[in-house]
Amino acid sequence: MSRQIPAALSMDGKRAIVTGAASGIGKATAIALADLGAELVLVDLSAMDATRDEVQAMGATCSVMQGDLTDDAFLASLFAGPRVHAVAHCAGILMRTPWDEDPNWNERFHRMMDVNVRVPLQITQAAMNHMGEHGSGNIVLVGSVAGKTGGTSLNTPPDYSASKGAVHALVKWMSRKAISKGVLVNAVAPGPVETPMTRGNNMGPNLPRGRMGKAEELAWPIAFLCTEGAGNMSGAILDVNGGAFVG
Ligand SMILES: NC(=O)c1ccc[n+]([C@@H]2O[C@H](COP(=O)([O-])OP(=O)(O)OC[C@H]3O[C@@H](n4cnc5c(N)ncnc54)[C@H](O)[C@@H]3O)[C@@H](O)[C@H]2O)c1
């Protein structure tokens, strides 16, 4: 017997921006939101043909905006069109070369903070202003277990861990600002997940489950936070880490 998606979880008639949509968690989130009926706006630096083809094959309406989110004009343009109901901001970076041997450390540090901290703040601010005009909206950021623990191992570079700790702090700050406009700001804090970001770094055997997370296992909690089902959640950082950290 087929059943309809419950209204509280349906994204029918809703427009959702997914950043980082070319790859990993962002791509999986776009697919999960398409499954819930959302109209999608895919955003990434890289080409998103594979994601677009997949969500269109599922019947979703989908547009693509390729560009660099550190470019303020590009970021602002995401909110220049029709009403956006949800933003799942999954774009992010991790440089895995040893930071203390990196001759370009300063440059790398500033790039990390630009992409992983300033952009989440800017996109939350822009989305909040846009959604606030309509009285509601859901914004979801992606932190990390590294932002809570410093990292699952010393292989996690300190600039990355610090950037994710900052994301958690700004979710708390922005959620308090946004709630009076009817806008909900939340995040997930993933443990290690198999994506291009972690390729070749198999932490699975050292994790409580004996394996890393899958992108879909992050996508569904993120998609849930985009729905009315999460209607009273504000400032939450959901641990989605397969038991890698129980805080
Ligand atoms: N994979 C993990 O183990 C893990 C764990 C914790 C948190 N996270 C976080 O989850 C999020 C998604 O990571 P992922 O594992 O899917 O990585 P990924 O590398 O597969 O995907 C990240 C995407 O972000 C895009 N991106 C990067 N900088 C951008 C910019 N300036 N403008 C537009 N797009 C940009 C990339 O092109 C890429 O497609 C990131 O914030 C990451 O830090 C990942």
Fold for 12-240, please state it.
Rossmann fold (3.40.50)
How far, in Å, from the CA of 27 to the mean position of ligand 1? 10
Instruction: Tell me the CA distances in angstroms from 64 to 32, 61, 142, 152, 241, one per residue in order.
Output: 17, 10, 21, 34, 30
Domain boundaries, the chain: 12-240
pLDDT score of 207? 93
Give pLDDT, residue 221: 98
Q: If pLDDT is split at 50, 70 and 90, which confidence band does 213 have?
A: very high
What is the C-alpha to C-alpha distance for residues 35 and 153, in angstroms, rounded to an integer?
A: 35
On the question of pLDDT at 143 being above 90, the answer is: yes
pLDDT at 1: 67
Q: Distance between CA atoms of 71 and 108, rounded to whole angstroms?
A: 17
Strand runs labelled E in the chain: 15-19, 39-44, 62-66, 86-89, 137-142, 183-190, 193-194, 213-214, 237-240
State if pTM tops 0.85: yes
List 30's β-bridge partners, or say none.
none
Q: Is 91 in the pocket of ligand 1 (CB under 6 A)?
A: yes
Ligand 1 mean position to 44 CA, how many Å?
A: 10
Residues 195, 215 contacting (CB under 8 angstroms): yes
pLDDT of residue 97: 86
CB of 90 shorter than 6 A to ligand 1 = yes
167 ligand 1 Cβ < 6 A: no
Residue 32 confidence class, pLDDT cut points 50, 70, 90: very high
User: Is the C-beta atom of 201 inside 6 A of ligand 1?
Assistant: no
CA of 229 to the centre of ligand 1 (A): 26
Active-site residue 160, yes or no?
yes
Contact 65, 43 (CB under 8 A): yes
Q: Do 50 and 71 touch, CB atoms closer than 8 A?
A: no
Q: Label residues 110-149 b or e (16+ Cβ within 10 Å = b).
A: eebeebbbbbbbbbbbbbbebbbeeeebbbbbbbbbbbbb
